[in-house]
Structure 1
Amino acid sequence: MKIFRISLFFLILLSPIAGWGEYNSPLYLEKTTIYIGDHPLLVEVANTDESRQRGLMFRKKMGENEGMIFIFPNEDYVSFWMKNTLIPLSIAYFTRDKKLTDTYEMAPNQTQVLYHSTKKVMYAVEANPRWFAKRGIGKDAVLKIEGRFVGK
């Protein structure tokens, strides 16, 4: 009986750890609405190393006007790839003063192509394919986001 209790104790103690892996537990990120020009987009905020590295990996779908904003702690040249990203995406890069510099269409689940910013940026926004093009959003469009969101 004592062995059963000890076994049960360790089973209960260790059970929350079972299944935890690099990508098995979901990240619950704060959501907010940003605007690019006059166009609203509901985004998850990726402003930590962990959330920026995970991004939209393993997602099977995303709402029409949904996406993710990546906020970096410092302005720098950045690159994205589509490792373990199952859906095609558009990406737009924005400078510290929130002006759009580049947009790219990214193919799903490939690691051969990197999508580089051509200027130092502080923000990247991922949305559904052609989201920016369909709305006529081009170079120097302005990103609007609450000031409380900062890169960490």
Structure 2
Amino acid sequence: MLKSLLAASLLVLGGHACAASTDVAPVNVILHGQRFTAELATHEAAREHGLMARTTLAPDHGMLFVFPDTAPRGFWMKNTLIPLDILYFDAERKLVSAQLDVPPCKAAPCPVYPSAGPARYVLELSAGTARRIGVRDGDTLTIDGRLGTVD
């Protein structure tokens, strides 16, 4: 009985750990004419977990962080194993700043990579993607899909 209860508890906890990285179905985003499949992080736990512990990220995939407000943002790479481009967008989904080729950070203290202006959306892509597709400040991010609730 105790083993069954323990096994069931571990399954529930394992499910929560997996669910922390994203919280709703992926959406398609279009940036500078390129389409990406983006996992969504619209809740605090999903935003905190982000792309931690990932060893790969497909070239046409990313993660879109959605915040309930527009404010200066800062991201760090703690326990993130792959280099990323971090793109900050305002409430109108215009690119306000980018941190490119941000290296992984496996041990604290990890530097914070801030936005140059207030942002509501943050898109993480594989490092080098923004440069490869020619992203520029002011580019508009199109989101094709449902964002769900944001908190």
Alignment TM class, shorter chain as reference: 0.7 to 0.9
After TM superposition, give the deviation of residue 24 of structure 1 in Å. 8.2
TM-score, length-normalised on structure 1? 0.86
2:141 is aligned with what amino acid? L
Equivalence for 1:25: 17
User: Is contact 1:74–1:151 with CA below 8 Å preserved after alignment?
Assistant: no
Runs of 5+ in structure 2 lacking a partner?
none
93, 102, 110: which one pairs with 1:106? 102
After TM superposition, give the deviation of residue 131 of structure 1 in Å. 0.6
Equivalence for 2:50: 55
State, as a whole percentage, how many aligned pairs show the same letter: 28
Following TM superposition, where does structure 1 have runs of at least 4 consecutive aligned residues deviating by more than 3 angstroms?
none
TM-score, length-normalised on structure 2? 0.86
In 2, Cα distance between the equivalents of 1:39 and 1:151? 25
- Name the one with the larger strand percent: 2
Equivalence for 2:8: 16
User: Is contact 1:76–1:122 with CA below 8 Å preserved after alignment?
Assistant: yes
Q: CA RMSD in A?
A: 2.0
Equivalence for 2:140: 142
In 2, Cα distance between the equivalents of 1:83 and 1:72? 20
How many pairs does the alignment contain? 143
User: Is contact 1:43–1:68 with CA below 8 Å preserved after alignment?
Assistant: yes
In 2, Cα distance between the equivalents of 1:113 and 1:98? 26
- Deviation per CA, 1:24-44: give whole Å up to 9, x if none: 831254211111131111110
- Name the one with the larger helix percent: 2
After TM superposition, give the deviation of residue 148 of structure 1 in Å. 3.3
After TM superposition, give the deviation of residue 94 of structure 1 in Å. 0.1
In 1, Cα distance between the equivalents of 2:128 and 2:79? 20
Runs of 5+ in structure 1 lacking a partner?
1-8
